[in-house]
Amino acid sequence: MKVLIADTLLPSAAQQLREAGCEVTESPALTDQDLPAALAQTGAQVLVVRSTRVPAEAFAGDDLALVVRAGAGVNTIDVQAASAAGVYVSNCPGRNSLAVAELAIGLLIALDRRIPQASADLRAGRWRKGEYSAASGLAGRTLGIFGAGRIGMAVAERARALGMRVVMWNRDDGLRAAIAQAGFELETEPLRLAARADAVTLHLAETDETRGIAGAAFFEALGRDALFINTSRSGLVDEAALADAVSHHGVRAALDVFASEPAGKTGDVGSPLLDLPGVIATPHIGASTLQAQEAVADEVVRIVRTFASSGEVPNVCNVTARSPASHLLIVRHLNRVGVLSHVFSALRVARINVQETENIVFDGGLACIARIAISAAPDPEVLRAIRAGSDAVLNLSLVPLGV
């Protein structure tokens, strides 16, 4: 299997893939504009990326079958174009959770104690102990965490160790029990949480629901002199509203992501937020500890090796959770050549589409059961034609789906 690694991964990942029999091309300097040509040139069946964007044009060829994002989110990949081309998209969720959580806590402490500013003054020869001794401290203060997934929970545990009161909001109710079991408080309204919090940190995926969640109303609800941290996605934040809150309401912000950050690994960034004294920043390094890179590299290898050996894709992101099929046709048959071809041909004549299929072979290899998810219920005449057209068809049953 041919693999193109279009980003910087630990050398161990490529080595393990080669040992597994893969033909690996490493091109960490590729940009999104370079990808289509590189994929065509290498004939890669698997593409591995970290920060490199994967545009729709990358899916124009016939060879690519799987894109692996060496990280948690897939917002840098045109997933819709991948799905239209029948290309799997997979990711490595949870492998860098601790790294992001550690950065968020580090930025929280840095904001409260104004560590970057104090260090800059001291390096410039200015001893301003009185000014930098006025930090509020974090113990007993309320941290509002938006997002109760792996990263949000890891931040919550570390904030509790600092003596903070933790209140969480999640975009759905699926984690309500987990939040309660972990001993944290749940707030059901985002603006109410912003109003209650002394500090806020975002750990959400960027979706239609969460995009721009930290907007003008959010920062209006957030108290004066509050601390704001974003190490997740820049699209969650209205940067103009944040700039206004920093400039006029005393909010201090720590950011690891920006709307204007370069697509590649190096480049220039010109966000107006960086000109504000109330903002400290890091260059999108949340997931970039050595521990996290090792964990992600191991997961990339596992995904590719599983796909190469079985055709299955761990952590797949773009396979529908609910089949569009309306009925399940169950065919018990002898294990002979052409039986399923006969069934599919009858369905084709009836203009019934096969959505999914699975053929289970019994011990001994003499008989099978085919489970065929189809777009519509066949007429009785079609079922009789299938049954009568082959003596290898032992039994048919039709099960409505979604009932």
pTM of the model: 0.73
Catalytic residue, candidates 284, 327, 333, 342? 284
Q: What is the tens place of the pLDDT at every residue in 372-391?
A: 999 999 999 999 999 999 99
How many residues are listed for the chain in this entry? 403
Residue 150 is a catalytic residue: no
Name which of 59-68, 71-80, 271-280, 341-350 the model is least confident about: 71-80
Give the span between the Cα atoms of 35 and 38, in whole angstroms: 5
Q: Please state the domain extents for the chain.
A: 2-95+291-310, 97-286, 327-400
Q: Angle 97-113/150-161 helices, nearest 10 degrees?
A: 40
Q: What CATH architecture is 327-400? A: 2-Layer Sandwich (3.30)
What does the DSSP 8-state code read for residue 261?
-
Give the span between the Cα atoms of 33 and 37, in whole angstroms: 8
Residue 284 is a catalytic residue: yes
Catalytic residue, candidates 233, 252, 327, 342? 233
Asked whether this chain's domains 2-95+291-310 and 97-286 adopt the same fold, the reply is yes
- Name beta bridge partners: 199: 143, 227
Q: Is the pLDDT of residue 264 over 70?
A: no
Which homologous superfamily is 2-95+291-310 in? NAD(P)-binding Rossmann-like Domain (3.40.50.720)
Give the span between the Cα atoms of 112 and 134, in whole angstroms: 9
Q: What is the tens place of the pLDDT at every residue in 276-332?
A: 999 999 999 998 889 988 999 999 999 999 999 999 999 999 987 666 789 999 999
Which homologous superfamily is 97-286 in? NAD(P)-binding Rossmann-like Domain (3.40.50.720)
Q: What is the tens place of the pLDDT at every residue in 173-220?
A: 778 888 999 999 999 999 999 999 999 999 998 888 999 999 999 999
Catalytic residue, candidates 141, 261, 333, 342? 261
Q: What is the pLDDT of residue 73?
A: 78
Residue 333 is a catalytic residue: no
261: pLDDT confidence band, cut at 50, 70 and 90? confident
Q: What is the pLDDT of residue 177?
A: 85
Q: Which of 51, 91, 90, 89 is nearest to 72 (CA)?
A: 91
